[in-house]
Amino acid sequence: MKEQLTAALMRPISDLKYISKRRASLFKKLDIETVLDLLRFFPHSYEDWTSLTSIRALEDGQEQVFMARVTAMPTIQYKGRRSILRTTLRDESGRISGVWFNQPYHQKNLLKDHVYLFRGKVQKSGRFQQVTNPTFEPLDLPEDKPIAPESFTDLFMKPIYSLTKGLTQGVVRNAVAHVVDGVADQLPETLPRSVRSQWQLCNINYAYEQIHHPQDRQAFAVAHRRLVFEELFMVQLGLRRLRQQEIDALTAPVINLSVEAIIRFKKARQALPFNLTDAQDRVLQEVLADLKRPVPMSRLVQGDVGSGKTVVAALALLACCLAGLQGAMMAPTSVLATQHYKNVATQLAGSGLNIALLTGQTGAKERRELLAGVAAGEIDILIGTHALLEDTVVFRHLGLAITDEQHRFGVRQRIRLTKDEMNRPHVMVMSATPIPRTLALILYGDLDISLIDELPAGRQEILTYTAREKDRRRIYELMEREIQAGHQCYVICPLVSAEDKETDLQSAVELAISLQEGVFSHRNVGVVYGELKEKEKQAVMQSFQDGDCDILVATTVVEVGVDNPNATFMLIENAERFGLSQLHQLRGRIGRGSARSICVLLSEVGEGIARERMRTLCHTNDGFAIAEADLELRGPGDFFGTRQHGLPEFRLANLYQDKDLLVLSRKAVDMVLAGELEVTPREWDWLEFGMEISLGVSPGHPGL
Ligand code: ADP
Ligand code: MG
């Protein structure tokens, strides 16, 4: 039964009588190859034919739908190759003239005394009214029956599909309508009855019928709700099951501290130059609790920039090492890895642990020794870049792997830190990109989430302003004042690759030179950018960190994680060039100490989305509010840049608009997995089918 149905749905559309080979190849451009693809090719919008207006009530300048009788055979007037077709349309309330330009063939489609639905733009002047080039649909109404829109119920919304060259709306509509008619009453129900009844979701047949040909708005809403719910439900269930399979199959070392180790741990904690915030402490406890279990931890630690994630990571690594295991920490850039290395080394200075740094710059000899030390278990904590993922890096006994700024690594890689099939270290992922909870649920459905939702005491709001080119002098005066007070400044330029450099953009190097040779000739100006040699990059960063460099001109290489609490001023050139979350990340480089910090967004752009982003930034320092605003302004597709996020693509669901359904579907997943909702074995079968489809795996694939 299942095989049969699946086979019917997986049939190539070229097998269908009404789809020629040529058409099939056009459909392929739209990623439609099978009957199922066609069924799941949802309209992107609809032409609404459901609100009827009587002719008398038609309004000037609006697209409207009305029902009318053709009073006379249409006449055609030719002017050269052009033609005008005219007739008069009438209902009980009045009449309107209908005009079609260059569509002479409609003469035979518009029959005298027949009734049609018309849809088009109406023009009125005085008592005269006209509708131009309306589309129309014949209605089967007896000639003598009065036209009564109020009692007319047979209305519809016409689907509008995405097209590709060579495929018209009519062809796609027909093809979809055919498959819907053909199979829509025998589709396998992918959502268990218990789930549907709990959240009042319609059945699958109705959903597919109505999403393609909604009777009315209400029916559309019902169908849409079910399909969006299903999409969100399937993806989350799929991710959670993957995680569950991992948990069932794998074991992780139990990290339980001896009494002596606990004392050492407490000592190290007390030796820190500050007390942990309540939020840091809570998250640390959540992590330590995970480490005590024989199940591999998969935890995302989220915290806004400056919330102090590193020290939580350091203490988790310490616990792991005190239990006799090794720890690893990976960062996306060598600048950041180096900084983590220094921070962790400082924070755990009194602990007697052996901490090492491995990046692409580590020399061959040093690297060899280092790897030997790692393999022998002499090195307790290894910090580094992607270099850590190489096959030559073998730990003696890795207990905890931490990755920072995870979304820059891609979902696959987060598993790769571990080479042993059965035993996995605990994994902790840190992200400073405040991911709106809505997205986090999906993106990290297979991770537990901890939130550091508090900044260390004494931090001040960063004052943020927008400015224009004419303000540059004053901006430089402000910078000078900060430097005189013993602080340092960042100047950020948009990343411009050498080839396609646009002239109106500030390039980091040029700006640095002009500052050093001009206004700031008495100061030390440094510059870093991505293409700079790693050694030089490190040297510049170091001199900035040490306070030798007063002004650091940089591209977005400083976006993630760079920590210099003495920097209190940031000027962002061409601020319109940056995304909202990116601006927030950049701005997060200042305001890290107790002094007041200032961020200036320099831009010449007028009103628009870029201005709106800047305004949002001026109003709030709250990363989560900013992330939500970003999501709203851009839509989730753009949130991380489409490639990086590893999110499955949704056909109908919009993570911003469908937040409520996301929450409900999450609940449904919880209840199904906990056995609180009944799912029969047969239903599981189809549920699995649904998950495979939603996660984009072709059904029957062994992957799930
Ligand atoms: P992020 O979460 O952005 O990675 P960091 O871990 O880099 O933040 O911490 C930012 C700065 O705050 C660092 O200089 C760090 O030493 C400091 N810091 C961290 N926790 C606290 C705390 N509880 N009290 C005071 N300062 C702290
Ligand atoms: Mg950080």
Report the range of poorest mean pLDDT among 76-85, 126-135, 407-416: 407-416
The number of the ligand nearest the C-alpha atom of 278 reads 1
325 CA distance to ligand 1 middle (Å): 26
- pLDDT score for 557: 74
The number of the ligand nearest the C-alpha atom of 457 reads 1
Ligand 1 atom 9, closest CA: 308
Sequence ranges of the domains in the chain: 1-44+168-185, 51-155, 259-452, 463-620
In tens, the pLDDT along 580-589 reads 878 888 898 9
Distance in angstroms (rounded) separating the CA atoms of residues 68 and 267: 87
**In the predicted model, is pLDDT for residue 263 greater than 50?**
yes
In tens, the pLDDT along 101-156 reads 999 999 999 999 999 999 999 998 888 899 999 999 888 777 667 777 666 666 67
Considering the four listed CATH numbers 3.90.1150.10, 3.40.50.300, 1.20.1250.20, 3.40.50.720, the one that applies to the domain covering 259-452 is: 3.40.50.300
The number of the ligand nearest the C-alpha atom of 337 reads 2
**In the predicted model, is pLDDT for residue 464 greater than 80?**
yes
Task: Say if strands 115-125 and 63-70 run parallel, antiparallel, or are unpaired.
Answer: antiparallel
Q: What is the percentage of the chain residues whose pLDDT exceeds 90? A: 47
Tell which CATH architecture fits domain 51-155: Beta Barrel (2.40)
- Is 310's C-beta closer than 6 angstroms to any atom of ligand 1? yes
Ligand 1 atom 20, closest CA: 308
Tell which CATH architecture fits domain 463-620: 3-Layer(aba) Sandwich (3.40)
Of 405, 436, 189, 379, nearest to 301 (Cα)? 405
Ligand 1 atom 22, closest CA: 456
Report the range of poorest mean pLDDT among 8-22, 39-53, 175-189, 487-501: 487-501
303 CA distance to ligand 2 middle (Å): 9
Same fold, 1-44+168-185 and 51-155: no
In tens, the pLDDT along 333-378 reads 888 898 899 999 999 998 899 999 999 888 999 999 999 999 999 9
646 CA distance to ligand 1 middle (Å): 29
Report the range of poorest mean pLDDT among 280-284, 302-306, 341-345, 368-372: 302-306
Q: What is the mean pLDDT of residues 603-615?
A: 87
Mean pLDDT value across the chain: 85
Nearest-atom index, ligand 1, CA of 458: 25
First to last CA, the chain: 21
Distance in angstroms (rounded) separating the CA atoms of residues 578 and 616: 13
At 321 the three-state DSSP class reads: helix
- pLDDT score for 376: 95
- pLDDT score for 360: 86
Contacts for 338 with CB less than 8 Å, ≥ 6 apart: 357, 359, 538, 541
Distance in angstroms (rounded) separating the CA atoms of residues 403 and 82: 68
Tell which CATH architecture fits domain 1-44+168-185: Orthogonal Bundle (1.10)
**Full-model pTM:** 0.64
